[in-house]
Structure formats: C-alpha cells, structure tokens
Amino acid sequence: MLSKCKMPIAHEVMVGLDDEAAKVIERLIWGPEQVEIVPIVGMAGLGKTTLAKKVYNDSSVICNFHTRLWCTVSQEFNMKSLLIQILCPDAKHSRVDDEFQNLDEHVLLEMLHKKLMKNRYLVVFDDVWDIGAWHELGIAFPNDKNGSRIIFTSRSSNVASQVQYGGEPHYLRPLSEKESFELLQKKVFGKEDCPQALHGLGMEIAKKCRGLPLALVVVAGVLATIEHDICVWEEFAESLTSTMVSGTDQCKKSLELSYEHLPYHLKACLLYFAAFREDEKIGAKNLMRLWIAEGFVEKVEGKRSEDTAEEYLMDLIGRNLVMASESRSIGGVKTCYIHDLIFEFCKTEAKAKNFLQVLRGYDELSTFNVPPYLHRLSICSSGEDFIKSKLFCPHLGTLLFFDATPGDEFELRNISFLFCIYKHLEVLNLEDINLRLKELPTEVESLLCLRYLALKGRTMEFIPPSIAKLSHLETFILNSCMTVSLPDSIWNMKNLRHVYVRGDVAIGLSSNDNNVVENLSNLDTLSTLCIYFDQGGENILRRIPNVRRLKIFCLALNALNRACRNMSQLECLESLTLGSFNFSGSREHVELSFPMNLKKLCLSYLGLPCRKMSLIEQLPNLEVLKLRVQSMEGQKWELMEGGFPKLRVLTLSELDFVEWTETDPHSDDYFPCLQQLKLLKNSNLEMVPACLGRISTLETIKVRFCRDGVDSLVRKIEEAQKNYGNENLKVIIIG
C-alpha cells in the first residue's frame, strides 16, 4: 500500500484555458440572436470536456441563460436515453425516470421543445461522434431569436459544419511547452516549485506529452508517486519515449506506463471500470461496494473496508486515471468516471489478462465461446438479447448486466433459471432488468457465495425467508416501487452491511417476536426503513446499533415520536434522512433527540416547531442540514448564539417561515463554518439574518423561486460580504 506521504496530490488545476474560455464565452453571450451551435473541436484528451465545463459553470454564462442543460453523447448513444438525460439529469437516482421510460420518443422531444421554448437556453452535447443524433434532435430546439446557444464538443470538425444553426468550429489548441511544464509541475508538486535538479527532466517529460493535457496529468500522476530522484526520473523519461508520433499514441503510452506503476490492488480496481458503460457516471459508493465484494480491498484490522476502498478511489483520482464528477455535500466523491481513452485501455487490458470479459450487443453475445476459466462477465446489450443468448458459464463469479438501450425497459417474469445456472456467483448485478414478480423466487438461495446482489423489481413486495441462506451477503440493493417486506430471518445475516431500496419506497422490517435479540451489528446503511407502528421502529433501531447511514420514513405520528425518541442511541449514525407523510396533528410533543455524531441531516414533512430548532442547532458535528418541504413549522426562526458550530451546507426549501433572524444581530457567533446556502421556494420569507453578511467562510448562495424580496435581501448580503472583503462569494439567483 502507498504510504500517506506518497499519496499523490489531487489539485483542481487548470492551465492555459482562460483565453480559450473567454473566446467561447464571448460567442455564447454576444453574437447573433439566432440559435447557434458552437463546436469545440480537438483530439481525445485535449481538454474539450474540461473547457466546456468551465464555460458552462462560468457565472457570466449562468446568469445569461434561463436554462442550461448538459448531456454526454459518446460513441454508442441511444436517442431515448439521451433525451431522458437532458430532461431529467438525475434520472438514475430518482424515480422520475420511471415516468419518462414509458414515454414515446416523440413525446419526449416535444417535452424538450416545451422546456426550451421562450427560454434563452444553453445545451451542451459532450462528445458528439456523428451528426445523426442532431438530425433527429434538432426539431426540439426552438429558434426564438433570443441568443440561445448549443455547444458541441467533438473530435471531428465535420459534425457541426453542415447542419442548421452550425457555427464556426472553435479549434482547441494543445498546450504550449511552457504551459505543459506548468501543468505537470502543479500536478506533481502542488504549490511548491519543482526542485532545480529535476527541472530539465521535467521539461523533457512535459515535452513528450505533445501538449495533450490527458497525457500530462496521467504522467504527473506517476511522477507524484515515484521517488523524486534524478535517476528514477531519467528512467521514467526514457520509458515514455514512443517510436510512434501521433498524440493519441503518446497518450496510450503514458497510460500504459501509469498502469504499470500502479500497485497490484489498484490495477484490479482500475480495470473494473471496463465493466461499465462508456462515459457512464458511476456512483462511487456502489463502485466501492463492488470492489469490496470482489475482494480487491485489503482487510485492515480495525478499519472499515469502505474507508480503505475510499482511499483506493482517492488514489486513482490523485493519479488522474479516474475523474471525480460530483462530490457529496458531506465530503467525498459522489460519482466518478474515466476518460474514454482510459476506458478503451481498460477494456483491452482486462480482456488480455482474463480479468474480465466484456460483451456488447447481440453479435458478441451470440458468437461468444465461453472459456472454462471465465470468472467475470459484463454484458452490455438489450435485456432480450442477454436472455436469448443463454450463456452457460457455471463457474462465473461475477455477472454484471447493463442495458444498452435504457429507454426501453426489459421485463422478466422468471429469474429462477438464472439463479440455478450461476451457482458460484459472488457478485450479481441485474439492476437493469425489471423482474415482474411480487416475490423474489426462493431459488435465490442457490447463490450461496453471493456477496453483492442488485436487482430491480418494481412490483416486488416480498423477499423470501430463504434469503438468509446467503450468509456472505454484504450488499443488497433492490429497486422497487413498493413497500418491500424483508423476512425476520434477515436478522441472522451477520455479514449484511448495506441494505438499500431505491426510490421513495420503504422497507418494512417485521419483528413481532420481541424475545429475539439478534442484532445486525455490521449493518452500515439502511435505506429506506419504513416505520408504521409505535413499537416496530423502536425495536428495529435497537437492533442496528452501528448503523452509519439511515433513511427513515414514518407512516404515523406515533411512530415518528418513538423513532425520534430513540434515535440518540445510534452513536455511529452520521447521516440521517427522516421523512413522513404530510399528516395532520401537532408536533409540539415530538421528543427529538438526535445522535451527537450526526454529520448530515435531511428532514421533510416533519413539521417541527421553529422554537425546537435549537435541538438541531446544538448538534456539535453537524456539517450538512437540508430542511425540505414542511420540515419546520411556524413564522419565526430565531437562530441561537453559538449554534451550528460546524455547519457547512444549509438548504432551506419549501418552508413556510416568514422571519429568519438571530437573537443578537451584532454577534458573529452564528454559522462560523457555513460555505453554501441554498434557498428554494420559500415563498413567505421576508427576513434573513444579518450575520450572513459577515460570515467569511461563505462561498455560494443560491436562490431559486423565492419572492423578489428575498432576491434583494440576498443582494444586500452580497454587498455586505464585499464590503467585508469577501470577493469570492458567488450569488446565483434564478426564477
């Protein structure tokens, strides 16, 4: 394992993009009233996506457009999933996509048209390979002559030259030698200078990357981890020499080298990316659970495997082989992806090393000769083709299926035969196939080695008691729309760590027998636990003493009461999401006691009286607070002095309060760490606390769909912050 000091440094450094960005921004904001496509063109790894992102997130661009949308097209695109991606960017993580899935392409096109109409829009199509997509999509983009813009990024300048609205390509230039060295040195040494003795070699290495940022950052990832010694660098510079001359080949060479320098466990983790779809944003938590189930993550005494896995991910990110896409409000990476050149490399290498077989489409599936040693298989095809292919590989340890046409849902009414074939599976992901069953077949018990199981069954309500035979199971993911009842027998599944039911569905854990004292002391994540009755919730919480992330949905006021009262016993709990129905009845008597270690708290429909907010304000470790729809009740929320000592992120959405004040407007003892404030649809709000104008840590304030009055209050805060010397505060007001 890497020692701490050798951990590569991950800096968000950008080099030489300011002038390029300024040119593109100028074309977005100025220029013709007509819709115009601004193509950003250049070879793979040159920084097109990076430039497009920089421009997309520039505050002058944000303020100039009413609607901004982003979608990644990539080589194998599918029109419907593209449309869903544009219309519903969080589709994978919410249930909105269910509604969209069943809609016809034309309906989706029309929805998009409606969404864009009369709005000044900016839509980015990242990585367009051929113009076919645009011919079909184009009709959804109205030309209201209001300065709307479309950005294409592409490797080919042809894609946008002959189409309607097509504008002059913006050819992205490679970095100069000076910039190349600057990027390399910043990535390797951070803020420190490159030691004089390594300067020349650094220059030489930078030059060999031919101005390609991807090659540079990957090479820097290696240099940061090897010894900073002339001989070692000399050797590395030599190995980088490629007889081939094209930039792409140079990139490949640097990738190979970087891969060779990876420690063994990270090689497996990186190659595993080949199992996913190209350009897919991969949920980091899930990826890490897969690594653990695969046995890639070293077990360290006294350390949670998830923490070790996270170090691996951060290491790969530090080496610039994996890119973080979104981060979590609570810190850490939420989604990540790899560059398509790295993806290609992983695919080839994984196959060559018999690490993983990837099959795409019916042709590859139907002609595939299953080798006897095949251990891991990832299939990306239509569900129909996968089932039709009847692949027989009884020794398979890992089977991952990904739908190549996510727009058309494939349904299966019988899964038992699969369970009976693949008896040695340790990892099974069939989340892209909808099992049209009310109950998971008992044959699941055949999969005795299973450690990771992810399924989708929108109508699934029951899990059979036989599931407890899967005594190695660590992760159980089920995407259902129903309330799923887990059997009592799960209390015997001692290795269970993550139980995750997607959507706003709930898990009903029946536990009638109060004498049973079985605990799931390893359980780390439980989402979403549904509590109906007075006692149920209490009993369940007692049996998951070490849970760290918990989502609860209460169906009755009594249940809420009892759950809240017992919450503080969960000493490991770091993240809690608590929701309930919008049921009537006073919450005056809800006895709240949150665990002291809580770092993140999300509430909705809780109807907490404002004056009880101090219970939350006092939490010593709270970093993220999201108060959503009707989670707080009352007209006036007065902040207590010394409250929220560690709060970084605060979201207030759809609350009815009118006055938001502080006990002493002259005191600075409020929110000493606040970085982000989001105000969303707080339609009655008339007053915000003055202290907001003086919090030096504040980075962004986002206001969406609040009264005009709120907008001007926020502008005043911005002014106060400026006078106070905080020039970097970003204020974004929309709607």
Ligand X SMILES: Nc1ncnc2c1ncn2[C@@H]1O[C@H](COP(=O)(O)OP(=O)(O)O)[C@@H](O)[C@H]1O
Q: What own/partner pairs with CB < 8 Å and gap ≥ 24 does 166-170 have? A: 166/37, 166/39, 167/27, 167/36, 167/37, 167/38, 167/39, 168/39, 169/39, 169/40, 169/41, 170/20, 170/23, 170/24, 170/27, 170/38, 170/39, 170/40, 170/41
Region binding ligand X by CB under 6 A among candidate stretches 213-221, 299-307, 389-397, 620-628: 213-221
320 binds, among ligand X, Mg ion, none (CB under 5 to 8 A by kind): ligand X
Binding site for Mg ion (CB under 5 A): 49, 127
Kindly state whether residue 151 participates in binding ligand X, applying the rule CB under 6 A.
no
Kindly state whether residue 48 participates in binding ligand X, applying the rule CB under 6 A.
yes
The residue type found at 632 is: M
Shortest separation between residue 255's beta carbon and ligand X, angstroms: 12
Shortest separation between residue 122's beta carbon and Mg ion, angstroms: 18
CA distance 560 to 566: 10
CA distance 189 to 443: 55
Residue nearest to Mg ion as judged by C-beta position: 49
Give the burial string for 568-604 (b: 16+ CB within 10 Å, else e): eebeebbbbbbbbeeeeeebeebebebbeebbbbbbb
Kindly state whether residue 318 participates in binding ligand X, applying the rule CB under 6 A.
no
Residue number, 339 or 497, with CB nearest to ligand X: 339
Kindly state whether residue 2 participates in binding ligand X, applying the rule CB under 6 A.
no
> What phi, psi does 443 have (nearest 5°)?
-60, -15
Residue number, 127 or 617, with CB nearest to Mg ion: 127
Q: Which residues in the 393-412 window bind ligand X by CB under 6 A?
A: none
Shortest separation between residue 82's beta carbon and Mg ion, angstroms: 16
Kindly state whether residue 47 participates in binding ligand X, applying the rule CB under 6 A.
yes
Residue number, 15 or 552, with CB nearest to ligand X: 15
Tokens 């919410």 locate to: 94
Region binding ligand X by CB under 6 A among candidate stretches 28-36, 43-51, 220-228, 573-581: 43-51
213 binds, among Mg ion, ligand X, none (CB under 5 to 8 A by kind): ligand X
CA distance 678 to 732: 10
Number of residues engaging ligand X in binding (CB under 6 A):
20
CA distance 221 to 415: 44
- Sole binder of ligand X in the list 174, 213, 441, 693 (CB under 6 A): 213
Radius of gyration for the alpha carbons in the chain, expressed in angstroms and rounded: 27
CA distance 73 to 278: 10
Region binding ligand X by CB under 6 A among candidate stretches 46-54, 73-81, 231-239, 528-536: 46-54
- Sole binder of ligand X in the list 50, 429, 446, 525 (CB under 6 A): 50
User: Residues 268-307: x/- map of binding to ligand X (CB under 6 A)?
Assistant: ----------------------------------------
Residue number, 8 or 213, with CB nearest to Mg ion: 213
Q: Are 59 and 65 in contact (CB under 8 A)?
A: no
Shortest separation between residue 52's beta carbon and ligand X, angstroms: 8
247 binds, among ligand X, Mg ion, none (CB under 5 to 8 A by kind): none
User: Residues 323-342: x/- map of binding to ligand X (CB under 6 A)?
Assistant: x---------------x---
- C-alpha distances out from residue 649 to 284, 641, 671, 713, 721, Å: 21, 18, 10, 19, 18
CA angle, 36 then 39 then 43, to 5°: 180
50 binds, among ligand X, Mg ion, none (CB under 5 to 8 A by kind): ligand X
- C-alpha distances out from residue 658 to 353, 366, 637, 718, Å: 63, 64, 8, 21
Kindly state whether residue 46 participates in binding ligand X, applying the rule CB under 6 A.
yes
Kindly state whether residue 484 participates in binding ligand X, applying the rule CB under 6 A.
no
Shortest separation between residue 594's beta carbon and ligand X, angstroms: 39
323 binds, among ligand X, Mg ion, none (CB under 5 to 8 A by kind): ligand X
Kindly state whether residue 511 participates in binding ligand X, applying the rule CB under 6 A.
no
Q: E-strand spans in 391-459?
A: 398-403, 410-412, 427-435, 452-456
Residue number, 170 or 339, with CB nearest to ligand X: 339
> What phi, psi does 348 have (nearest 5°)?
-65, -50
- Sole binder of ligand X in the list 13, 96, 592, 629 (CB under 6 A): 13
DSSP 38-94: EEEE--TTSSHHHHHHHHHT-HHHHHH-SEEEEEE--SS--HHHHHHHHH-TTGGGS
Question: Using CB under 6 A as the criterion, which residues of the chain lie in contact with ligand X when the complex forms?
Answer: 13-17, 42, 44-50, 183, 213-214, 217, 320, 323, 339
